[in-house]
Structure 1
């Protein structure tokens, strides 16, 4: 079954990571999330984990910094998403330098790129998201029958999305309600954006450092289980793929070291912003997209707002489906 294939691949990649940042044996637990790339080359399909994250914490509003150099949210899904952004920036760099190994090919407009048609991605999470997706009625069985989905089903349409969830208390109805139904009627969306069909695929394989797995293994132990304080980010990039943080900064950072470039997570806002600006600077003006060409953009907010269609789509989504979504004050977006 595809869900078990994806889970096993993610767990294997996690085990291959260094020990640093992983839970203390018998005392700590964590969550895992990842992005898996599927590439169909003729009859052969290759699978590769390209981004991964662990973590259970966020820093809280009082510890946020206007310099963008702290990782505000270290929940596994967010760390995996931001690690995936590092991977995408690397792949865009390959595409811009005309390297065939990139996942992107030229789009219809100058400076824009599209995913190659034989490539698709699946998101993995070792547990259902907290909140609505984890509210399961007592009358509902945790082992609901779910139609098995094979790799050929997912690869049939490159635009199709799938989320695989590791073994945990699971409700197909709750996941549909939280992830799909609240967004499926959002409209109108600008050009280039559309509501995607998302397949929810539960796995029978449990993450070894999940709360349930650690608790079951150490039932006789009287020590209280606590969430791991560190977060791990990993990207399939050639330079410094691993990023281990604690309290929003690189693990091992002292109070005196906070604010130095060495203290920054590679996936904090300012570091990803600098990686993006470095990519833009490597491309000639005539090959940039219209939104970035011959414009005086300086701050993080300037560049965000230059993506007008994205901002419009995000505004529609927020107003129609995510009204309670917390927004940061613009003071936190003025860094360069």
Structure 2
């Protein structure tokens, strides 16, 4: 510990220390430590680094548990849950902005949207390589890439036709398999075949992070309220290979040529990539996989436990709740969106159902089409979406104001 910490070491240390605090009263067999992911916000003005979202987990929902009401979590891999927790944080900060309260994260900009203050940066930590293209070709941990003239340079590896392919997690399956659709640049699974028994498939974490590196990690709903925001860096704890990570996270989008014609505010983001220099805690490396996931964010400031196979909350006795749905599910994030629209005078953005509401973000949808076309044209395959029925739940029953009372009812039971 006498050696100086690298930047990546600092990010990892912050996330692990905060996670240990969050799960201090939860037994290790319930905490789901197998994979941990976090988001750290850097404020350059006051030189502060704050953990704003954390999650653990490496499971996803069973096909027969899918619902059409937006109340289940489909993908409970830590990387995905940490990103959804980040969106909870963003909604909280935007609410302050619209109400004229002090926020050190956002400022108002053109067209009534918000933008992240230039001094604020977001850093992503994952305890191991994200599943899919970023992990499947990596068999050992390498070192971080060096900075040259104050800038980082990506050197992606393209030496096999299988590298860069879009891959899906498969229900009750091992590893991630490539997906090539029959027609078009995007395909959708049918709820009528997934529920009766056909294995559900979910896009890999590498593919989803690659998507965020063009569309922004804020998602479609928030894109109506704010400019795109990107992660400045991605740090891995183990299984880091610069060449494979650079390709999987962003560089495969520009393998053939640079993408020039993107709508205003969007870009292909090439974050600083790196790995921790310290060996991981041996205890963490032998953690057994569990269906349980923990999520925490600084806006809600209390841990929540979910079951990755059901997509619902898990009442462990150590985290008790009288609810069944997670605060990170589509319906709850839609509530936050409606509340922000009401405060900003933009309720016209809320349409009859969740899918139509997302489609009002026309710039984001245009970028998504460009992304899928790029991936398909370079032979990486077809993007596979979840059943459309899972996104067509109505918005009329979702209140526009007020925070659900039940969030304050989460109780930590002390030993």
Report the equivalent of 1:30.
34
Query: What is the 5 A alignment of 1:1-336?
Result: 1-19=6-24, 23-24=28-29, 29-41=33-45, 44-110=46-112, 112-136=113-137, 142-144=141-143, 146-147=145-146, 161-166=232-237, 168-184=238-254, 185-186=258-259, 188-206=261-279, 208=281, 213-215=284-286, 226-237=288-299, 239=300, 241-246=302-307, 247-252=310-315, 262-284=323-345, 288=346, 293=348, 297-321=351-375, 323-335=381-393, 336=395
Report how far residue 148 of structure 1 moved. 6.0
Superposed CA offset, 1:85-110 (max 9, x none): 10000011011111222410011112
Please give the TM-score of this superposition, normalised by the length of structure 2. Answer: 0.66
Report how far residue 269 of structure 1 moved. 0.7
Aligned CA distance change for structure 1 residues 209 and 129 (closer, same or farther; 3 Å): farther
Report how far residue 194 of structure 1 moved. 1.2
Aligned partner of residue 385 in structure 2, secondary structure: coil
Report how far residue 200 of structure 1 moved. 0.6
Aligned partner of residue 175 in structure 1, secondary structure: helix
Aligned CA distance change for structure 1 residues 28 and 137 (closer, same or farther; 3 Å): closer
Question: Do the aligned residues in 2 keep the contact of 1:21 with 1:245 (CA within 8 Å)?
Answer: no
Aligned CA distance change for structure 1 residues 38 and 106 (closer, same or farther; 3 Å): same
Question: Do the aligned residues in 1 keep the contact of 2:41 with 2:51 (CA within 8 Å)?
Answer: yes
Q: Distance in 2 between matches of 1:144 and 1:226?
A: 26
Q: Distance in 2 between matches of 1:81 and 1:101?
A: 20
Aligned CA distance change for structure 1 residues 22 and 235 (closer, same or farther; 3 Å): farther
Superposed CA offset, 1:208-235 (max 9, x none): 487xx443xxxxxxxxx63022111111
Aligned CA distance change for structure 1 residues 187 and 332 (closer, same or farther; 3 Å): farther
Question: Do the aligned residues in 2 keep the contact of 1:103 with 1:115 (CA within 8 Å)?
Answer: yes
Aligned CA distance change for structure 1 residues 67 and 278 (closer, same or farther; 3 Å): same
Superposed CA offset, 1:257-296 (max 9, x none): xxx9820000011111112112222333xxx3xxx54x66
Please give the TM-score of this superposition, normalised by the length of structure 1. Answer: 0.80
Q: Distance in 1 between matches of 2:363 and 2:145?
A: 36
Aligned CA distance change for structure 1 residues 109 and 227 (closer, same or farther; 3 Å): same
Over aligned residues, Cα RMSD in angstroms? Answer: 2.9
Aligned CA distance change for structure 1 residues 179 and 160 (closer, same or farther; 3 Å): closer
Question: Do the aligned residues in 2 keep the contact of 1:36 with 1:51 (CA within 8 Å)?
Answer: yes
Aligned CA distance change for structure 1 residues 48 and 251 (closer, same or farther; 3 Å): same
Aligned CA distance change for structure 1 residues 137 and 10 (closer, same or farther; 3 Å): closer
Report how far residue 29 of structure 1 moved. 4.8
Question: Do the aligned residues in 2 keep the contact of 1:22 with 1:228 (CA within 8 Å)?
Answer: no
Q: Distance in 2 between matches of 1:15 and 1:187?
A: 43
Question: Do the aligned residues in 2 keep the contact of 1:30 with 1:209 (CA within 8 Å)?
Answer: no
Q: Distance in 1 between matches of 2:54 and 2:146?
A: 27
Question: Do the aligned residues in 1 keep the contact of 2:251 with 2:270 (CA within 8 Å)?
Answer: no
Deviates more, 1:314-323 or 1:6-15: 314-323
Aligned partner of residue 132 in structure 1, secondary structure: coil
Aligned CA distance change for structure 1 residues 127 and 302 (closer, same or farther; 3 Å): same
